[in-house]
Amino acid sequence: MITTKRNYIFDFDSTLTRVEALDVLAEITLQNNPNKEKIIQEIIDITNLGIDGEISFTESLEKRIKLLNANQSDLANLVSALKKQVSASIERNKEFFKDFADDIYVISCGFKEFIDPIVAAYNIPSDRVFANTFEFANDGKIIGFDANNPLSQHNGKIKCLKDMDLEGEIQVIGDGYSDYVTRKSGVAHKFFAYTENISRVKTTENADHIAPNLDEFLYVNKLPRNISYPKNRIKILLLENVHPDAFTKLSTDGFSVETVSRSLSEDELIEKIKDVHVLGIRSKTNVTQKVVDAADKLMVVSAFCIGTKQIDLEACKEKGIVVFNAPYSNTRSVVELAIGEIIMLMRSVFQRSTEIHNGQWNKTADGSREVRGKKLGIVGYGNIGKQLSILAEGLGMDVYYYDVEDTLALGNATKVSKLEDLLAISDVVTLHIDDNAANKNFIGETEISQMKDGAYLVNLSRGFVVDIKALAAALKSGKLAGAAVDVYPEEPAKNGEFLTELKGLPNVILTPHVGGSTEEAQRDIADFVPSKIMAYINSGNTVDAVNFPNIRLPRQIKSHRFLHIHKNVPGIMAKINKILAKYDLNISGQYLSTDPKVGYVITDLDKEYNKEVIDKLRKVEGTIKFRVLY
Ligand SMILES: NC(=O)C1=CN([C@@H]2O[C@H](COP(=O)(O)OP(=O)(O)OC[C@H]3O[C@@H](n4cnc5c(N)ncnc54)[C@H](O)[C@@H]3O)[C@@H](O)[C@H]2O)C=CC1
Ligand SMILES: O=C(O)C(=O)COP(=O)(O)O
């Protein structure tokens, strides 16, 4: 008869727990020892040599026990420290250990004295824990171990498993040499390299499968689990040198994250996007219709910046791809640069500085003016424009602004209803309109001619907003006294050579699109955007999405959640609800939000359901994307 019985053999140190227990014990016993750091490093080195199979395990154990200088009384502290160090995915799948208790064993080269109390909480009784035992002196000092136990010897797990003589398939889950040799020797049928806490090359090379966490192991084995789809299977691609905090945050949450320091061309992106679930970009990468067409797995595009016009938002929406950005994280950085540049321009600081760099002393007050009492004309009174308005007033400037929207004036700022009027009165004009394509050449020859003679122009918005030729001509003719430009009609995909018609003109400050490039802004973006990505992927929240119906969902507690994105056509909700009713589902909450093109409905169910319903919902005409979370 063919048996379907399967046995799951777990390693303890660095698999069930995040740490090596003897390293933790060393921290405890050596806390007052002046040579603590040195001894701990020695212990870690010996542990690793043993795990990698470089020295015999017995030798590694003997050496470590001597260095540890531990006592029985230290073990209680060790156990309470280890309780707090159970691997995250083990902890969240506690039910697996309960439901499959009859199939689970721990085989470890560690010690029962600390393993038993930790795994007892996971329904693994002492008689299913195979491990070493300490030898104590009369005063409780740990002086050795039971040398007859096969687990204190080289390849002990192989012998142990042979002696156990288990019926059925044997799967070993562990992080080191002693685990994978069970598979090599043939005593285990499958070896899962468990890399949640540590990933060793030799271990992963010798694995049938790499499991970055227990979710993956359960998924591969089609076992019940706490997370419907292991996060390590969700691929995130971050382009354009996104701050490393984003990588850390997303990989710590379990996603597989790849980073590329530059932007990708359309062709490169089309190739790369095929197996990407979440794309992170900044202002240089264009997510076009063609890219979207090639992106069959894509669920999210996230702009790690303010502007989103580089993304075809409609194409994304129609494919059920949610787009997020960071609307406020770099606002302050842009404002501070604008303020600095306004002062630098009005004092001709860059010109004076360049002269000295060229060996020339030119002390003069000509063309050097205070900003106090001067008129600042802000074009685009949005988040940046408004904050600039406040700071400029703090410096004593008279602020005027022009915006197509009817926005409220802050402080003493004066709204001007015509651009022409604003240009005519301003000593400095600063542009902060959005990246809408309609703003192309917004400031051209005509607009410049409407500006005061000797005025200054600052552009920190988008390059295409200003006609660069007209600006260069106005600077050369002396119509304008200076300009600060951070953005250009064509910007390179990566750092390197760059040429502009403004090159070499006096009193022109040129910066390479760094308005938002401060450590503070980038760090804040790397916190803000990943939390939006995680909120959507992990629970379906679309709050702050720029192209999608926004839904703030309650926390999902012990329930199944269906996320259904569909075309907003008449009758579709009725069809969805008809299916839900037919399968007699116990619905604990339903949330719907629509816009003219798409509908997003979330259904929470509080008990098990017939899985056929998933297929039926997927097949509802007009469905764009459907996924299940539990
Ligand atoms: N240089 C850099 O590194 C950075 C540049 N930016 C640019 O700054 C722009 C503004 O950012 P926020 O203030 O956060 O955007 P926002 O959307 O809050 O404000 C833009 C304002 O411009 C107004 N506007 C748009 N077109 C207009 C027009 N033709 N005439 C008059 N008003 C118009 C809008 O009504 C809105 O009030 C972004 O769209 C982006 O292009 C943003 C961050 C960094
Ligand atoms: O936030 C924006 O829109 C910006 O222009 C800044 O873009 P960046 O992140 O520097 O490519």
Q: In percent, how much of the chain has pLDDT > 90? A: 89
Pick the CATH number of 231-324 from 3.30.70.100, 3.90.850.10, 3.90.1300.10, 3.40.50.720: 3.40.50.720
Give per-residue pLDDT as tens, 64-104: 999 999 999 999 999 999 999 999 999 999 999 999 999 99
State the distance between the two ends of the chain, measured CA to CA, in whole angstroms: 36
Å from CA of 442 to ligand 2 middle:
20
Q: How many angstroms from the chain centroid is the CA of residue 149?
A: 46
Å from CA of 458 to ligand 2 middle:
16
Whether residue 462 lies in the annotated active site: yes
Q: Is 305 in the pocket of ligand 2 (CB under 6 A)?
A: yes
The helix (H) or strand (E) run that includes residue 592 is: strand 587-594
Q: In percent, how much of the chain has pLDDT > 70? A: 99
Test site for ligand 1: of 309, 388, 432, most ligand atoms within 8 A of the Cβ: 432
3-state secondary structure (DSSP) of residue 620:
coil
Instruction: Name every protein residue with a CB atom under 6 angstroms from any ligand 1 atom.
Output: 306-307, 330-331, 334, 379-385, 402-405, 407, 432-436, 439, 442, 460-462, 486-487, 513, 515-516
* CATH H-level superfamily of 331-517: NAD(P)-binding Rossmann-like Domain (3.40.50.720)
Q: Which candidate, 492, 482, 453, 488, places its Cα nearest to that of 469?
A: 488
Q: Which residues contact 624 (CB under 8 A, 6 or more apart)?
A: 318, 319, 320, 565, 566, 567, 598
Q: Is the pLDDT of residue 134 over 90?
A: yes
HEC profile of 426-478: CCEEEECCCCCHHHCCCECHHHHHCCCCCEEEEECCCHHHECHHHHHHHHHHC
Secondary structure letter of residue 382 according to DSSP: S
Q: Which residues contact 46 (CB under 8 A, 6 or more apart)?
A: 55, 60, 63, 64, 67
Would you state the pLDDT for residue 475? 98
Q: Is the pLDDT of residue 2 over 70?
A: no
Lowest mean pLDDT among 243-247, 513-517, 532-536, 606-610: 606-610
Shortest-distance Cα residue to atom 37 of ligand 1: 382
Shortest-distance Cα residue to atom 31 of ligand 1: 403
Structure tokens at 430: 């600063």
Å from CA of 432 to ligand 1 middle:
4
3-state secondary structure (DSSP) of residue 589:
strand
Atom of ligand 1 at shortest range from CA of 487: 1
Residue of 491, 501, 523, 627 with catalytic role? 491
Would you state the pLDDT for residue 559? 81
Average pLDDT score over residue span 587-611: 91
Atom of ligand 2 at shortest range from CA of 305: 1
Secondary structure letter of residue 596 according to DSSP: S
Atom of ligand 2 at shortest range from CA of 462: 5
Å from CA of 434 to ligand 1 middle:
3
Other beta carbons within 10 angstroms of residue 20's beta carbon come to 23
Other beta carbons within 10 angstroms of residue 403's beta carbon come to 20
Q: Tell whether domain 6-220 is in CATH 3.40.50.1000.
A: yes
What is the overall mean pLDDT for the chain? 95
Residue of 128, 225, 243, 462 with catalytic role? 462
Would you state the pLDDT for residue 354? 95
Would you state the pLDDT for residue 166? 96
Tokens 């994978």 belong to which residue? 180
Would you state the pLDDT for residue 508? 97
Residue of 200, 352, 432, 513 with catalytic role? 513
Q: Is 383 in the pocket of ligand 2 (CB under 6 A)?
A: no
Average pLDDT score over residue span 498-508: 96
**Domain 549-628 -> CATH class:** alpha beta
Q: Is the pLDDT of residue 574 over 70?
A: yes
Contact between 451 and 476 (Cβ < 8 Å) = no
CA–CA dist 431, 380 (Å, integer): 7
3-state secondary structure (DSSP) of residue 210:
strand
Q: Is the pLDDT of residue 345 over 70?
A: yes
Q: Which residues contact 617 (CB under 8 A, 6 or more apart)?
A: 562, 564, 576, 579, 623, 626
Give per-residue pLDDT as tens, 415-440: 999 999 999 999 999 999 999 999 99
Contact between 402 and 416 (Cβ < 8 Å) = yes
Would you state the pLDDT for residue 554? 83
Give per-residue pLDDT as tens, 224-282: 888 888 999 999 999 999 999 999 999 988 899 999 999 999 999 999 999 999 999 99
Å from CA of 183 to ligand 2 middle:
51
Q: Is 311 in the pocket of ligand 2 (CB under 6 A)?
A: no
Contact between 375 and 426 (Cβ < 8 Å) = yes
The helix (H) or strand (E) run that includes residue 98 is: helix 94-99
3-state secondary structure (DSSP) of residue 103:
helix
The confidence band for 3, taking pLDDT boundaries of 50, 70 and 90, is: low
3-state secondary structure (DSSP) of residue 239:
coil
CA–CA dist 62, 49 (Å, integer): 13
Whether residue 491 lies in the annotated active site: yes
The confidence band for 347, taking pLDDT boundaries of 50, 70 and 90, is: very high
Percent helix, strand, coil in the chain, to 5, is: 40, 20, 40
Give per-residue pLDDT as tens, 359-373: 999 999 998 999 999
Whether residue 189 lies in the annotated active site: no
Å from CA of 525 to ligand 2 middle:
11
CA–CA dist 151, 131 (Å, integer): 6
Q: Establish how many alpha carbons lie within 13 A of residue 423's alpha carbon, considering only the half-sphere containing its beta carbon.
A: 17
Helices H / strands E in the chain, number of each: 24, 24
Q: Which residues contact 485 (CB under 8 A, 6 or more apart)?
A: 458, 459, 466, 471, 500, 502, 508, 509, 510, 511
Lowest mean pLDDT among 33-47, 179-193, 327-341, 481-495: 33-47
CA–CA dist 175, 198 (Å, integer): 7
The confidence band for 412, taking pLDDT boundaries of 50, 70 and 90, is: very high
User: Which part of the chain is CATH 3.40.50.1000?
Assistant: 6-220
Question: E-strand spans in 93-165?
Answer: 104-111, 129-132, 134-136, 142-145
User: Which part of the chain is CATH 3.30.70.260?
Assistant: 549-628
Average pLDDT score over residue span 493-519: 96
Which ligand has its closest atom nearest to the C-alpha of 465? 1
User: Which part of the chain is CATH 3.40.50.720?
Assistant: 231-324, 331-517
Amino acid identity, position 617: L
Å from CA of 27 to ligand 2 middle:
46
